[in-house]
Structure 1
Amino acid sequence: MRYLPLSDHDRGEMLATIGVPDVDALFVDVPAEARLAGPIAGLPGHASEMAVERHMARLSAESLTAGQVPFFLGAGAYRHHVPATVDHLIQRGEFLTAYTPYQPEIAQGTLQVLFEFQTQVARLFGTDVANASLYDGSTACWEAIAMAGRITRRSKAVLSGGLHPHYVGTAQTMARFTGDTLVTAKPELTAQADDDALIAAIDAETSCVLVQYPDVLGRIPDLRRISTAAQAKGALLIAVVTEPVALGLIESPGTLGADIVVGEGQSLGVGLQFGGPYLGLFGCREKYVRQMPGRLCGETVDADGKRAFVLTLSTREQHIRREKATSNICTNSGLCALAFSIHLSLLGGEGLARMAQASHLRAVQAAQALAAVPGVALVNQSYVNEFAVTLPRPAAEVVDALAAKRVLGGVALSRLVPGEPGLANALLVATSELTSEEDIAALAAALAEALA
């Protein structure tokens, strides 16, 4: 039976109250070309379950998936080995829900997991405190900008050209509704990130400076220097980490002066999953904790004096008056946070370092192999497990040619920043502990053939 709780009269009253003529008026912010005028052409009106399964299986067979072929895609989503233990544990009945617990007396296990998760993120990021997760990395990035605005009472954010363009796009979408000013730049194909230009953009009106670490090209900016420059102008430094495994090899952003550290947790425990669901990470200095979005789980004692866990801080619109809330998009990706925490617990600090070292070793080998291909030039001076190369022709064409040879050879930068001629020939290449020497040889051979 269909569940239709609203009558036409109810719906009409609601529309009149918010001042719009019809439901379609609620979607005016979606570009007209992205909206459907009717049913999708070519789809049958109905089919049996068996027929749909067969059809979807045929479509799936046409895809080239990560585990089938040499795989070098990254650009914000990374393929690492996820132990089978992770999937086994998150499917236990007491955990298999994405919903956040509110009643501590019946949710001690889940609250403890989130408490441990917060501890892991804070240690990984080098921050005093971390929350119980957010929706994903890009929305966590915007939340950090909004938080910096509340702390500094300024509304201008300076975004590094090395910040992932999708994160920039998310921030621009949100800033349309808040009136914040975002100073942005396109990625530059230089061996090192242009920290001088970024620092020059900081002024007395700046609330925060956003720097990806490592950045979208895999370069490692000088966070300590940028932090000093931001602090001198009364601005906060926000570090954005899209590849947390890299922190097994390089110093944590918080120890280098970052006031707020955000990122994407997909690399640990979650897997690629065709783009989602993913996991937003968020940490900051303790003095800013009351401006932090989302929820904070804390440890206390119960009526009998035994160790217990509770939601200590919940400054979101579901818990307090909307106008005083820190956020209204701070969804907690609870199941993904659990997967992240289990994977990181299995690794430990030493295991994470080994994973990062193995990923870096493969990146060095891949960079050397590709640089030996005629017409290919390495952009980076420094990197962990992702780097950029330039090709003698558009990278998007080359990526398609490599896929036809059953090699997923990287991400064309033009896919992230379309319409920029200076970036058209740039290719982002990522490796991990799963990358083999045979994979690297296959990529180099296929690339040489595609460019011949």
Structure 2
Amino acid sequence: MRYLPLTDTDRADMLSVIGASSIDDLFVDVPEAARLDGPIHDLPMHASELAVERHMTALARKNIAAGDGPFFLGCGAYRHHVPASVDHLIQRGEFLTAYTPYQPEIAQGTLQMLFEFQTQVARLLGTDVANASMYDGSTACWEAIGMARRVTKRAKAILSSGVHPHYVAVAETMAKFTGDVLETSAPKLSAEGDISELIAAIDGDTSCVVVQYPDILGRIVDLSELAAACQAKKALLIAVVTEPVALGAIRSPGEMGADIVVGEGQSIGVGLQFGGPYVGLFGCKEKYVRQMPGRLCGETQDADGRRGFVLTLSTREQHIRREKATSNICTNSGLCALAFSVHMTLLGEAGLRALAATNHAGAVAAAERLEQVPGVKLVTPAFFNEFTLDLGQEARPIVRALADRGVLAGVSLGRLYPGEDALANGLVVAVTETTTAEDVDTLAAALQEVLA
């Protein structure tokens, strides 16, 4: 039995206060094409719990899970091996929460973990400081653009064509409410990035330049020249990292001069999990720390001189006047941050570098093998664990045909960039430590069969 405490009079009173004539008025921002005009007709109005369980189980059997066969999907979400000890530790009662501990006197362990998480992220990204996490990489990217506007008092952001289109879409959605102007474009199916074009586009109205590293095609570029160009025009350089394991092998964006570095931490400690929850990483130069969104855990001493941990900065809308807040991010991904920190601690610096080397070596071997398939061309000669292939024909039906053979071959660029015919032949392939030589051979054989 449903518990519905509100009466029709209660609802009418609330609508009157907010100036809406009906509940439907609350959904006017949702496009009409996305709204239902009634119940979903092909679903039963009710069923027993047992019947629903059986039905959902039957539907689930139609899925191909990441571990069911050769798996080469990436583009911002990666399959890595997560030690069983990570899951064991994060499920301890004192840790099993997604929220920031507001009572430091009874939550020292969680606060210390977040403090150590910040230290790990700052070292990984090459920044002076990092916060206690964000929702995910895409929202962290938008928050960085908003932070750049506050720092520079400008509202034009230039986004590299290599930035993940989902991240771009999130930024475009949020910019509708802030007045930020975003300059975006689609990538070219080529080995070269767009650094020179980005440098040429920076002007006196530019708040920031956003670049992904490695980018959506897997390309790796030196950001030093772009960072210098941004500094010369008093704009900020924002670097987005969707595969943090890469930073065990390549220079961090902070080392190359990036002012703000954001990213997705899912690769370390957090499984794929049907797309979430994930954990956003956010670091910046120390001089910008008071404009940083989210919150910062700090180390201090109590009245008796004992080490303690507290929330040091937390300038969000729940704590101060909304118009003065740096962010409306109302919580951090605490449990996922804990998983990240536990996994990173288990790896250590040497382990992370070894993991990165394994990923890169596997990707190089896979690229060399797949390039031998007739009709396949390697687009990205320099990459970490993800590269782009030109299949010589539209990739989407090829991916579907391979999935029918039990091989999840990668992400077609036609799926990410619908309507961009120049990208339709592109396939982004990711290789991690979970990928075997047999997986690569299976993909190569199936790809050759389908392309024939």
Structure 2-normalised TM-score?
0.98
Match of 2:78 in 1: 78
Matching residue's letter, 1:11: R
> 2:105 matched to which residue of 1?
105
1-side partners of 2:335 and 2:345: how far apart? 15
Structure 2 vs 1, CA of residues 4 and 286 (structure 1 numbering), >3 Å: closer, same or farther? farther
Give, in angstroms, the shift of residue 369 of structure 1. Answer: 1.0
Work out the CA distance in 1 between the residues paired with 2:2 and 2:313: 38
1:219 maps to a residue whose letter is: R
Residues 1:341 and 2:341 are matched in the alignment: yes
Say which SS state the counterpart of residue 312 (structure 1) adopts.
strand
* Paired residue type of 1:258: A
Alignment of 1:113-192 (within 5 A): 113-192=113-192
- Given that 1:293 and 1:330 are in contact with CA atoms closer than 8 Å, whether structure 2 keeps it comes out as no
- Rounded Cα–Cα distance in structure 2 between residues aligned with 1:400 and 1:385: 23
Give, in angstroms, the shift of residue 2 of structure 1. 4.0
Letter in 2 for 1:20: A
SS in 2 for 1:253: coil
1:223 Cα deviation from its structure 2 partner = 0.8
Q: Give the match for residue 202 of structure 2.
A: 202
Which is further off, 37-46 or 5-14?
A: 5-14
Please give the alpha-carbon distance, in whole angstroms, between the structure 2 residues aligned to 1:104 and 1:170: 34
In structure 1, C-alpha distance between the alignment counterparts of 2:287 and 2:4, rounded to whole Å: 47
Alpha-carbon distance in 2 for matches of 1:329, 1:451: 46
Deviations 1:377-428 (A, max 9, x none): 1101210000101112210100001111111000001111111111111000
For residues 154-184 of structure 1, the C-alpha deviation after alignment (integer angstroms, 9 at most, x for no partner) is: 0000000000000000000000111110011
Cα separation, 2, equivalents of 1:191 and 1:128:
32
Structure 2 CA distance, aligned partners of 1:330 and 1:266?
20
CA distance in 1: counterparts of 2:345 and 2:36, whole angstroms:
45
Q: Deviations over 1:269-299 (max 9, x none)?
A: 1110011111111000111011000010011
What is the CA–CA distance in structure 2 between the aligned matches of 1:10 and 1:323, rounded to whole Å? 30
Aligned Cα root-mean-square deviation (Å): 1.2
Number of equivalences: 452
Deviation at 1:221, TM superposition (A): 2.1
Report if aligned partners of 2:399, 2:410 keep a CA contact under 8 Å in 1: yes
Letter in 2 for 1:251: R
Letter of the structure 2 residue corresponding to residue 117 of structure 1: F
In 1: Cα distance, 2:300 partner to 2:435 partner: 44
Amino acid aligned to 1:337: A
CA contact (8 A) 2:204 2:233 kept: yes
Letter matched to residue 334 of structure 1 = G
Q: Write the distance in 1 (CA, Å) between the matches of 2:264 and 2:300.
A: 29
Q: Report the equivalent of 1:93.
A: 93
Report the Cα offset of residue 46 of structure 1: 2.1
Helix, strand or coil at the partner of 1:309: strand
Alignment partners' CA distance in 1, 2:30 and 2:119? 39
Q: Which residue in the other structure is 1:56 paired with?
A: 56
For 1:303-318, list aligned pairs within 5 A: 303-318=303-318
User: Secondary structure in 1 aligned to 2:254?
Assistant: helix
The answer for the alignment partner of 1:435 in structure 2 is 435
Question: How do 1:236-255 residues align onto structure 2 when only pairs under 5 Å count?
Answer: 236-255=236-255
Stretches of structure 1 that go unaligned for 5 or more consecutive residues are none
How far residue 5 of structure 1 moved from its aligned partner, in angstroms, is 4.7
1:235 deviates by 0.2
Does 2:260 correspond to 1:260? yes
1:367-386 aligned at under 5 Å gives the runs 367-386=367-386
Correspondences of 1:214-229 after superposition (within 5 Å): 214-229=214-229
CA deviation digits over 1:311-366, x for unaligned, max 9?
Answer: 11101001111110001135311111111110111001111111111111111111
Aligned to 1:364: 364
| Shift >6 Å, 4+ stretches | none
Q: What letter corresponds to residue 448 of structure 1 in structure 2?
A: Q
Q: How many angstroms does 1:10 deviate by?
A: 3.5
Identity fraction in percent: 71
Give the Cα separation in 1 of the matches to 2:293 and 2:10: 34
Q: CA deviation at 1:33?
A: 1.8
Report the equivalent of 2:284: 284
Could you report, residue by residue, the CA deviation over 1:206-230 in whole angstroms, capped at 9, with x for unpaired residues? Answer: 0000000000000012211110011
Q: Determine if contact 2:318/2:330 at 8 Å carries over to the other structure.
A: no
Q: Mind listing any 5+ residue stretches in structure 2 that lack a counterpart?
A: none
**What is the TM-score when the length of structure 1 is the normalising length?**
0.98
The answer (yes or no) to whether the contact 1:214–1:220 under 8 Å persists in 2 is yes
- Tell me the CA shift for residue 375 of structure 1: 0.7
Aligned 8 A contact 1:192 1:381 in 2: no
**How far is 1:17 from its partner?**
3.1
- After superposition, give the CA deviation of every residue in 1:251-276 in whole Å (9 maximum; x if it has no partner): 11111100000010110111100111
Query: Any conservation in 2 of the 1:192–1:220 contact (CA below 8 Å)?
Result: no
CA deviations 1:7-35 (Å, max 9, x no partner) are 43343333333332222222222222222
